[in-house]
Structure 1
Amino acid sequence: MKYYEEQGQTDTKHEFLGRPVVRSKRINDLRDLLIDATPQICSDRAKLLTQAYQTYQSEPTVLKRAKAFRHILENMRISILPGELIVGSLGVKLRCAPIFPEFGMDWVIEELDGNPVRPEQRPGDRYLIDEEDEKVLREIHSFWHGNDHESRCKAMLPKETEIGKKIGVTDSYWLMIGGDGHLTVDLKSVADKGLKDVIARAQKRLAQLDLSEPDAIEQKPFLESVVITCEAVIAFAHRYAQLAVEMAKTEKDAQRKKELMKIAEVCQNVPENPARDFHEAAQSLWFINLTMQIENNGHSISFGRYDQTMIDIYKKDVEAGNIEYDDALEIIECVFLKMFQLQKITCWDNTKAFSGYQLFQNFTVGGQDINGKDSANEVSFLVLNAQAAIALNTPSISLRYHNRINERLLYASFDVVRIGGGQPAMYSDEVYIPALVNRGIPWEDAVNYSIVGCVEAIVEGKQTGRPNGAGFINLGKILELSLYNGKDPNTDICMCEGTGTLSDFKNYEELYEAFKTQARYYFKQQIMTDNIIDQCTELGIADPYVSSLVHDCIERGKVMKAGGAIYDYCGPLYVGVANVGNSLAAIKKVVFDDKKITAEQLMHALETNYEDMTTKPTGAEIQKMMLDAPKYGNDDDYVDDIMVDYFRFICEETAKYHTTRYGRGPIGGTWQPSTSSVSSNVPFGSFVGATPDGRKAGDALADTSSPMHGTDTNGITSSLKSVGKLPTVLVSGGQLLNVKVMPASLEPGPNLKKLVDVVRTYFSDYKGMHVQINCVSADTLKAAQDNPSEYKDLMVRVAGYSALFTPLDKALQDDIIERTEHAV
């Protein structure tokens, strides 16, 4: 603790493994600086990219992208914040959101015109913009109008896509104006060998090409672009080295002058060369992440198994006496604060499904090695300790659980959960590894998975981006369509004629088949849409830099989207999982089994939103019948059996389809399901009328694979047992479960031991795949709504990510408050 005493420690009320959680003055000052800053839009990247595209219009796409990337890194404004040890950001504004015009510019101008709302006037996730940046964006709009990724996608998509989005059953718009992301590149090789090794491999392949071969002609521009982009990143790091030297010349504080010269030395060496110490390794990995963020506006660009990547160089530094635990901790805390700086803006409609200023960047810790031995190490604890101290919404911390997990690491994780914000989320090797093997990934790579995005498992450095994270599929809407003969009751649009309305079905089996008919149609529509968008991405975006860091793109001479990666999977995100199971069970029980009401009576109640008080029984009485029917989340086999059967159906139906990379080299090339609905359950609920589970029109749908809010009334154990019945081995795209517990359940002693035992049982006995725990009381959340300035760093778990609570849209805040709060 001597280090913190010298720095001027800042105590909190929390402990981490019996040690007070503290922040040095440096970290506390940086944290305060950033948390008080409202995110701002910056036009630098947009202006520089436009200049480059105008200059290199005739170049092959991959080379044009590479040269534009180089132009941006050479000319974007850079800065070093007071006191920081890890440097590099997306711009000179404190929390800077660049614009990516090559993906879409029309929405930017529409929102600047106030349609539907200007960025600074949003009800959540606000962004400021100054006059000069707005002027630049308006000036470059004419170049991009009709000439961006969104325009190319729309030109290829059938009209059914627009109709599906209009009625709220499918939506892939975020992919038209956003990039892929969702991956972890081979960071360990960069730390161990540097980008000069990547350049050498690309140059070697270039020298081997025989341009009389058609394949070689296609490979040449990609391999040349690898050299261009990696050299540009090296030069970008050198710019920071030069800036640090210039700042040191005028720095009056001797200690800070020394730190600036160290920063210059670090940035001059990495990421070009192998990292020589822990500080260099951390900076090298940060530069790689940052520059991938600049190349493409995708999110979920993650750091993989950070503890496994960093442990060797940490041990080397410790053994040499060059670093102590607290020094390494402060470096990781600096990395976390750099990640908090990162911002990317998307249109308001998309933002409602991804609320919380979140880029979904994961640090994965724990897990096991290829021989099943526990992989916990000192860096695992450093990452958890850093999260305990920083306590912000990014990065996302993911703990890999297995039956032989290090006990100290497990309890350390609950120490961090107690602080709030649902960090870390916990993932079970006992299910994730078999799920990946089930998709064709060999054990030796499956066991090395890490988490990206919300809950997606990926083989780092070997897999295409977006293993999940395709478009959304609104299962709640599909159910509604199946009750109305395929017709949307809000618009009278019918894309897939059904087999009748609910009033026509003679039994539950006919109802279930009607649901399957609609599901098959819309699944196919969604996959067709996303494959067309992927094809447009391959032709019009073709990111060479990120591809250069994924095997075997250089060896195959092609980008990931053309089949360069070793593994390839993609999949949709399902919304309203619990509503469908609950609704099917309620209809079966109330209408077909017990015959309490007729199908006609239920249909009328749905059409009148359970509000017609003139009928017998009244709408309110029918709603109560439907609410009282068996509900998923209570360990009731009546409804759980229906959930399992229908959920197996959607998993198997999804896996029938292929990505655009199928048969072009990668293992897999298939679609896979995921229940990571992000925050889309709130906006998608607005499209769905009253449902047979008792939910009223427009209300939020159930989030992820969690029980519907307020319906899991038999306690946390029954809730987890229901979720554990789902066929999770089929959900290789990731299963997500939110659990909200009373804060007292995490107090050290008997209460915490009970909670730990519950989680162990869920993972080990019931084959649960994932769980994340919110422990903020509803009273605290309501107080934060009323007095946001007093709760500016209050963090909550939203879906597969955490967010600061007060900047969220109120509809999402209310959804989080309404989740069932369990006592253990």
Structure 2
Amino acid sequence: MIHYANLNSEDGINTGAIFEGKEIYRSARLEALRKKVFASTPRIDSSRAKAVTESYMETEGYPVPLRRAMALRKTLEDLPIRINDGELIVGEIAPYDRCAQVYPDYGIDWFIKELDGEPFRFEDRPGDKFLISPEDEQVIRDIAPFWKGKTHKDQVYARIPKDAWDAFQIGMIDTDYLVICAEGHVIVNLKRILDEGMGNVRKRAEKAIEKLDLALTEDLKKLPFLQSVLINCDSVEMFANRYSKLAAELASQETDIQRREELLKISDVCSRVPMQPARDIHEAIQSMYFTNLVLNIEGNGSAFSYGRMDQKLYPYYKSALKEGWTEDDIKELFSNFMLKLFQVTRVLDWNSTSSFRGYVVAQNMTIGGQDRYGRDAVNEMTYLILECQAMMQLNNPLSARYHDKCSNRFMNAVLDVQKLGGGQPAYYSDENYVLGLVNRGVKLEDAYDYANVGCGEPLIEGKQSNRPDGAAFINITKALEMALNDGKDPRTGRCLHKGKGTLAEFETYDELYDAFMDQMRYYIRMHVIYDNSLDLASEEGIADPYMSMLIDDCIERGKTVKEGGAIYDFCGPLYMGIANTGNSLAAIKKLVYEDKVISGAELLHALNTNFEDMTTSPTGEEIRHLCIKAPKYGNDDDYVDDIMVKYLYDIFEEEEKYHTTRYGRGPIGCTWVPSCNTVSSNVPLGKIVGATPDGRKAGEALADTTSPMHGSDVNGPTAALKSVGKLPNILLSGGTLYNMRVDPKTVDSPESRERFIDMMRTYLGDFKGQHIQFNMVDSEVLQDAKIHPEGYSDLLVRVAGYSALFTAIDSDLQDDIINRTIHKV
């Protein structure tokens, strides 16, 4: 029996963390691996781009699933591999620490522009910097001409109708980040891989092929996908065996006895998984990691997530302890796995990066919650994962499921980790999500078994199509701005949908509200047209055959996910500016139509002059002061909260009228469902919105997620939670977020901890709040890190549904995080 934690017998590094009353140490092994990774600047590698290009040159005219499978096989054959000193879980997307591959099959023109410095070269970016060698740069430049007119971006843009394209151009909707990358946002059936092995995937495909009657057109259509499954299984087996052989070679050269044994164990593990069922916890973790690593290599999407990790690993945890493993052995192994996740990186164009700052990959893991019968599912593996997060302090999203039977032990353990300041884990409420999923048609036993993907979207692991909330960003505040200006965008002067007048002309609040909803209905329709165009292009040009073969019931139906192969199918947009819109409607209603302290014409002029015209009476600044003093969401004020609830209900009901491209093709659902995840897009999308009636000036960041606008929630955390809890959260089944900053000094005592946990139980249980996450970092620390980044290389903060290295993000987003209201418990 190898005791992994014993490699390098020196004392570990005290992380400064206290977990359930005990100090946490990183082993010398983990400290060395972690230090090496954090010291690295992310790099760009050209290996995948070269391999995919060469494969595509050889497969012109092949059915798309076969072409994609052959390109993946070529990539897995050619990708340089390595095993780092001391690591226990192996496999990488590229041969350098925190390295990103290039995906010319999705889009390449933007990459060449940024190599040419438009708007920045990768190494000169203000945030999310990357290095690229001259050799890798030349490879990308050499292959770029081949892809002209052949990329996924080309196919999508050729499909989008003019009206939807115009809505994208003015910034009312934005899905461009999905045009140049894979969709991701999925949890494949990892439990089935652990139980049956990927070899059984091959057998299922062979059986499905045997049943086909190729004289039937529908069966003939299924053949290329099913053949691609066989190719993909062979490719993954070959890829894992490359690591098995490398580990054996390194073992033959290793002089340290324990490390030699570890390398031989790695070789044995990689010779079996993921093709065969996992026999122990090492094989289980390596099997899941290999499976998802290939997802990241197939496509550069974010959020290829791991689902309910504590539930899948608990049987292996119990067996390990019986077989002589120690808790420290398992922690060492799992922490190594977490560090491998941190190393997976992707590069997007600068415009898309502005909405996903902080090297976002978001490979979420879910812990806690209930079993399929509604019983508490927290186990000892749950606590071990929490302790590993305390130990490693990494930014991989960790989702803690809450329900009304959660123990105080679990909630205190979560708080122990949250107090470290990295924004992990976030809370997700079963009391909300289960109801919301059942409302959409999900079976109760499946709804109980949901997991979180990406920033926080609920998804049925291994049974649901990808992208539950990964559609367009929809800028609600921008729509309100256009409603106030007769449908015209003041920034560009364009009018895509004629309005019903201007704020100067509306005689009642109801007229204004009707004009706003009229704009929203139009732009919701435009997002559906845009996103369905994207989905059709993905179905016909990308197919995602590897991902699809790992989701029930794609193989049995002979359909990829985009053709309707999954059991469940939901997708939805991400709504931006929730608080700004509600606050603005409340200000207009209060100031113009009820109290009549200013006219609609006066307010409209103040907005269009950014509150800076000092020649009017009242002046622009005086009008802004009135707007700021108007009722604000986040203070348990029914006046504004009721307005929020109504307008969101109306928008969500409109959204639900539309269907995805898979409607009527097999899956349950196929409706567009709303989400309020903003990622970091509230900053760039705020730049295209002028001054708003809530007192916000032109170009300033919008409120993030469902959070109150910075500085406007002044009545304490309970009042803020009450406001968020009033929203139609059950309908937000695409997922939502609530960011809250809490002064960490106010949760130090046993009494304050108890108050904090009681507050969480009230919000997540009684109020049916859907989600909440915390930044517990002193403002002084954040300010100093902004000035002296060299001293804070591993400082993590919660941005949205993910955490990021504070010093790696640009100054605008740093300021946005610093300016969030700090609550004391």
TM bucket (normalised to shorter chain) is: over 0.9
Provide the residue aligned with 1:392 in structure 2.
Answer: 394
Matches within 5 A, 1:633-652: 633-652=634-653
Provide the residue aligned with 1:358 in structure 2.
Answer: 360
Aligned-partner residue type, residue 69 of structure 1: L
Q: Distance in 2 between matches of 1:617 and 1:57?
A: 68
**Residue 541 (str. 1) matches residue 542 (str. 2):** yes
Provide the residue aligned with 1:318 in structure 2.
Answer: 321
Provide the residue aligned with 1:344 in structure 2.
Answer: 346
**Residue 697 (str. 1) matches residue 714 (str. 2):** no
Aligned-partner residue type, residue 603 of structure 1: L
**Residue 273 (str. 1) matches residue 276 (str. 2):** yes
Match of 2:41 among 25, 38, 41: 38
Q: Distance in 2 between matches of 1:173 and 1:510?
A: 34
Provide the residue aligned with 1:142 in structure 2.
Answer: 145
Contact 2:197–2:274 (CA under 8 A) maintained in structure 1? yes
- TM-score by length of structure 1 reads 0.99
Task: Find the residue that maps to 1:67 and give its secondary structure.
Answer: helix
Contact 2:373–2:445 (CA under 8 A) maintained in structure 1? no
Q: Which runs of 4+ in 1 moved over 6 A?
A: none
Aligned-partner residue type, residue 372 of structure 1: G
Aligned-partner residue type, residue 813 of structure 2: L
Contact 2:4–2:333 (CA under 8 A) maintained in structure 1? no
Aligned-partner residue type, residue 550 of structure 1: I
Provide the residue aligned with 2:117 in structure 1.
Answer: 114
Contact 1:295–1:545 (CA under 8 A) maintained in structure 2? yes
Task: Find the residue that maps to 1:212 and give its secondary structure.
Answer: coil
- Cα distance, 1:303–1:748 mapped onto 2, change above 3 Å: farther
Task: Find the residue that maps to 1:503 and give its secondary structure.
Answer: coil
Provide the residue aligned with 1:406 in structure 2.
Answer: 407
Aligned-partner residue type, residue 218 of structure 2: D
**Residue 451 (str. 1) matches residue 449 (str. 2):** no
Q: Distance in 2 between matches of 1:190 and 1:94?
A: 28
Aligned-partner residue type, residue 325 of structure 1: E
**What is the CA-CA distance between 1:161 and the residue it aligns to?**
3.3
Contact 2:164–2:529 (CA under 8 A) maintained in structure 1? no
Q: Distance in 2 between matches of 1:401 and 1:70?
A: 41
Provide the residue aligned with 2:801 in structure 1.
Answer: 800
Provide the residue aligned with 2:731 in structure 1.
Answer: 730
Q: Distance in 2 between matches of 1:132 and 1:366?
A: 47
- TM-score by length of structure 2 reads 0.99
Provide the residue aligned with 1:258 in structure 2.
Answer: 261
Moved more, 247-256 or 697-706: 247-256
Task: Find the residue that maps to 1:463 and give its secondary structure.
Answer: coil
**What is the CA-CA distance between 1:370 and the residue it aligns to?**
2.1
**What is the CA-CA distance between 1:536 and the residue it aligns to?**
0.2
**What is the CA-CA distance between 1:755 and the residue it aligns to?**
1.1
**Residue 15 (str. 1) matches residue 18 (str. 2):** yes
Matches within 5 A, 1:162-241: 162-241=165-244
Q: Distance in 2 between matches of 1:576 and 1:366?
A: 31
Provide the residue aligned with 1:293 in structure 2.
Answer: 296
Task: Find the residue that maps to 1:781 and give its secondary structure.
Answer: helix
Provide the residue aligned with 1:670 in structure 2.
Answer: 671
Q: Distance in 1 between matches of 2:791 and 2:751?
A: 32
**What is the CA-CA distance between 1:157 and the residue it aligns to?**
0.9
Q: Distance in 1 between matches of 2:255 and 2:163?
A: 65
Contact 1:431–1:767 (CA under 8 A) maintained in structure 2? yes
**What is the CA-CA distance between 1:253 and the residue it aligns to?**
1.6
Provide the residue aligned with 1:755 in structure 2.
Answer: 756
Provide the residue aligned with 2:375 in structure 1.
Answer: 373
Aligned-partner residue type, residue 104 of structure 2: P
What CA deviation, in whole Å up to 9, does each residue of 1:547-601 have, x standing for no partner?
1110000000010000000000000011101011000000000111001111111
Task: Find the residue that maps to 1:419 and give its secondary structure.
Answer: coil
Matches within 5 A, 1:550-569: 550-569=551-570
Provide the residue aligned with 1:479 in structure 2.
Answer: 480
Q: Distance in 2 between matches of 1:339 and 1:192?
A: 22
Contact 1:773–1:797 (CA under 8 A) maintained in structure 2? yes
Contact 1:535–1:660 (CA under 8 A) maintained in structure 2? yes
**What is the CA-CA distance between 1:724 and the residue it aligns to?**
0.3
Aligned-partner residue type, residue 175 of structure 1: L
**What is the CA-CA distance between 1:748 and the residue it aligns to?**
4.2
**What is the CA-CA distance between 1:215 and the residue it aligns to?**
1.3
Stretches of structure 2 lacking an aligned partner (at least 5 in a row): none
**What is the CA-CA distance between 1:615 and the residue it aligns to?**
1.3
User: May I ask how many residue pairs the two structures share in their alignment?
Assistant: 822
Percent sequence identity over aligned pairs: 51
Contact 1:181–1:297 (CA under 8 A) maintained in structure 2? yes
Provide the residue aligned with 2:164 in structure 1.
Answer: 161
Moved more, 748-757 or 180-189: 748-757
Task: Find the residue that maps to 1:486 and give its secondary structure.
Answer: coil
Contact 2:106–2:181 (CA under 8 A) maintained in structure 1? yes
Matches within 5 A, 1:703-782: 703-782=704-783
Q: Distance in 1 between matches of 2:233 and 2:123?
A: 36
**What is the CA-CA distance between 1:3 and the residue it aligns to?**
5.2
Contact 1:7–1:26 (CA under 8 A) maintained in structure 2? no
Moved more, 293-302 or 311-320: 311-320
**What is the CA-CA distance between 1:230 and the residue it aligns to?**
1.2
Q: Distance in 2 between matches of 1:579 and 1:135?
A: 46
Q: Distance in 1 between matches of 2:765 and 2:191?
A: 31
Contact 2:68–2:542 (CA under 8 A) maintained in structure 1? yes
Moved more, 235-244 or 370-379: 370-379
Task: Find the residue that maps to 1:350 and give its secondary structure.
Answer: helix
Q: Distance in 2 between matches of 1:249 and 1:742?
A: 53
Q: Distance in 2 between matches of 1:379 and 1:215?
A: 46
What CA deviation, in whole Å up to 9, does each residue of 1:609-659 have, x standing for no partner?
111112111111110100000000000000000000001111111111100
Moved more, 576-585 or 248-257: 248-257
Stretches of structure 1 lacking an aligned partner (at least 5 in a row): none
Q: Distance in 1 between matches of 2:698 and 2:71?
A: 48
Contact 1:418–1:747 (CA under 8 A) maintained in structure 2? no
**What is the CA-CA distance between 1:7 and the residue it aligns to?**
4.8
Aligned-partner residue type, residue 385 of structure 2: V
Question: Over aligned residues, Cα RMSD in angstroms?
Answer: 1.1
Provide the residue aligned with 1:431 in structure 2.
Answer: 432
What CA deviation, in whole Å up to 9, does each residue of 1:327-367 have, x standing for no partner?
11111101111011101101000000000111111110000
Aligned-partner residue type, residue 698 of structure 1: G
Provide the residue aligned with 1:790 in structure 2.
Answer: 791
Matches within 5 A, 1:453-472: 453-472=454-473
Matches within 5 A, 1:577-616: 577-616=578-617
Q: Distance in 2 between matches of 1:403 and 1:588?
A: 39
